[in-house]
Structure 1
Amino acid sequence: MGSATVPSSPATSSSAASMSSQPAAQAAVITIDKFDYSVPASVSPGAMITVENKDGEKHTVTADNADAFDVEVDGDGNTSFKAPTTPGSYPFSCIFHSNMTGVLIVK
């Protein structure tokens, strides 16, 4: 009976560890289509973000504070970047097309 208790204890703690690390590993997608960004409602700090460009033109996802993130994605291409680790709102735009703007919310 003692051995049955021991295996259930590590399984419980490993499940808790997996659950607490899951949000940081959760992926998010920013889609660029018809010169417009489609942005998730929010992302976890440090989440990997995939940028899918459905336009034939090159675009960027450049934070107003470019130290936060700045990626370029070719027409009809994909790229990814890591979300900032500090929660907050991060306005961004496309360097090539100033009318393209969005906000990435990290929480």
Structure 2
Amino acid sequence: MPFSFRTGRARFAVAAAAIALSSTALAGCSDSGGGGGGSSSAPATPPSLIPPTASSPSASASSRPPAGGGTKVSIKNFKFLPAAPTVAPGTKITVTNDDTTTHTMTATKGKAFDTGDIAPGKSATFTAPSKAGAYPYDCTIHPFMTGTLTVK
């Protein structure tokens, strides 16, 4: 039965190679392997995943106003950040969707503001109402996402 022997031997060789490769891959992912947790073999963050605001260490992406002034609100993990911004009347507000699904930022009473649908990775800008007051808002797609825009 030479054919059976070769097949068994080939299967053994393939299985051994698979085990060796998986062991190497797992060892490369381990933080407990030799060299400590901060080894230089860790992969660098691909440039496409570094946010454009990362070059400024003094301001975080969620608090930096958009170019030309205004206020920025981010949507991430189904939350508005910040959820309760305070702005002057007529302020430009840029809403950036840093989430994986489409969202809106829509005033819940009246039609004070509405970004419309914002696709993942996209932004929308609106002007804050000219009248001082508290303007509750939500995501019309995900009504559990809420916040309040205060104009004063």
Same fold (TM over 0.5): yes
- Which position in structure 1 is the counterpart of 2:148? 103
- Which position in structure 2 is the counterpart of 1:49? 93
- Which position in structure 2 is the counterpart of 1:84? 129
Higher alpha-carbon Rg = 2
- Which position in structure 2 is the counterpart of 1:68? 112
Quick check: 2:85–2:148 contact (8 Å CA) kept in 1?
no
Does residue 31 of structure 1 match 2:74? yes
Give the aligned CA root-mean-square deviation in angstroms. 1.5
Q: What are structure 1's unaligned runs of at least 5 residues?
A: 1-24
Taking structure 1 as the reference length, the TM-score comes to 0.72
Hey, what's the Cα distance between the residues in 2 that align with 1:68 and 1:80?
13
- Give the C-alpha shift of residue 57 in structure 1: 0.7
Higher relative contact order (CA 8 A, sep 6+): 1
For 2:149, give the aligned amino acid: L
Deviating above 6 A after TM superposition, structure 1's stretches of 4 or more consecutive aligned residues are: none
For 1:54, give the aligned amino acid: D
The percentage of aligned residue pairs carrying the same residue is 37
Hey, what's the Cα distance between the residues in 2 that align with 1:62 and 1:41?
14
Quick check: 1:26–1:44 contact (8 Å CA) kept in 2?
no
How many equivalent pairs are there? 83
Q: What are structure 2's unaligned runs of at least 5 residues?
A: 1-67
